[in-house]
A and B are shown apart, each in its own frame.
Chain A
């Protein structure tokens, strides 16, 4: 199995979950030129990041080419319990996607 491109760490404190994700992705804007050939490097960036908890979407982010390479994402949501699983997934502009599941501490 290929290694997941998403690393997730989540902690629950009095019902509030704090989630941190680190995604490996080139996040090319499409506006950079290859120094050697002088041609544009094709755009390749994540467009949507979704986090699901118990079948419910708790976070949905619409991204574009302005987000940095290997993005770091941190967010919080309520009504969580330690031991719950969350699912984080992304879709990029080339149609590729990846997802991972993690247990909250």
Chain B
């Protein structure tokens, strides 16, 4: 009997990858309807404002910040640095010809030639190294200023991340999805525990934000950091908070997570850079 049960479970495990393989589109619909059912009063596009979309008191404070936001300095510095030419006479504008129309909404995308997820940060640094410049640090500083400038030009565009029909793209998407739902760290918590199942609940004095719309506001000026940071800087912080060892910024793991995470926010507006507490 036991043997049969083991055999059955082995079969089940072997069968699940095919049976439970929901398409990204199905995932998105389920993900979206979970939040719209949970917070029926919040207009879908308002989820880009994170926790401020669901809590009136925090929203009031945040709106006061947004009147004269701290990220404005970053946008200005970013514009200056973006327009400065590299030593070889080329500039960022040569790498991002459509930057004025807004490009943030298309990142991260899957590059079928290299089989890699390309994030905006990795594209910025690739642009630098291709032109003989040194790569920037991934988490804060200049890369967030340039990111802030590019994001500010993309405001109001709708996030449009595609998962092409490619085995590697699906693998990256599923890796990100797995990271989102898998428990990790000493506290044995997943991203989904806080930002999906318990979004809107209190965690000590803070309210957990819904994962829907998270990526639209990055890079962010975070009051806790007293500075700008990229999405991957925040991922690292999140992982540390559940006492897991964070992955490196722009590692394949976080790129995959960003890919899944941003895909879930497809159709929402870009409103980066933004201010968070």
Contacts and interface: CB of A to CB of B under 8 A. Distances in A.
B70 interface: yes
Interface of A: 3, 7, 9, 20, 22, 24, 68-70, 72
A27 to B, nearest CB: 9
B226 A22 contact: no
Contacts of A69: 226-227
Contacts, number: 22
A20 B73 contact: no
14 contacts: A3-B76, A9-B67, A9-B68, A22-B68, A22-B70, A22-B72, A68-B226, A69-B226, A69-B227, A70-B70, A70-B73, A70-B226, A70-B227, A72-B68
Nearest to A5: B73
Interface size class of B (residues with CB under 8 A): under 10
Interface string B51-73: 00000000000000001101011
B136 to A, nearest CB: 18
A20 B226 contact: no
Given A7-B68, A68-B226, 13 more contacts: A9-B67, A20-B67, A20-B68, A22-B72, A22-B73, A24-B73, A69-B227, A70-B70, A70-B73, A70-B226, A70-B227, A72-B68, A72-B70
A9 B64 CA distance: 13
Contact of A7 (B67, B73, B226): B73
A20 to B, nearest CB: 5
Interface string B70-92: 10110010000000000000000
Contacts of A7: 68, 72-73
A61 to B, nearest CB: 17
Interface in B221-243: 226-227
A24 B73 CA distance: 8
A3 B226 CA distance: 21
Contacts of B70: 22, 70, 72
Interface string B127-138: 000000000000
Contacts of B73: 7, 22, 24, 70
A69 B221 CA distance: 12
B151 to A, nearest CB: 19
Contacts of A72: 68, 70
A69 B73 CA distance: 13
B79 to A, nearest CB: 11
A52 B227 CA distance: 29
Contacts of A3: 76
B141 to A, nearest CB: 13
A30 B73 CA distance: 24
Nearest to B221: A70
Nearest to A72: B70
Contacts of B72: 7, 22
Contacts of A9: 67-68
A3 B67 CA distance: 21
A68 B70 CA distance: 12
Interface in B215-271: 226-227
Closest 8 CB pairs of A and B: A20-B68, A69-B226, A24-B73, A68-B226, A9-B68, A22-B68, A70-B70, A22-B70
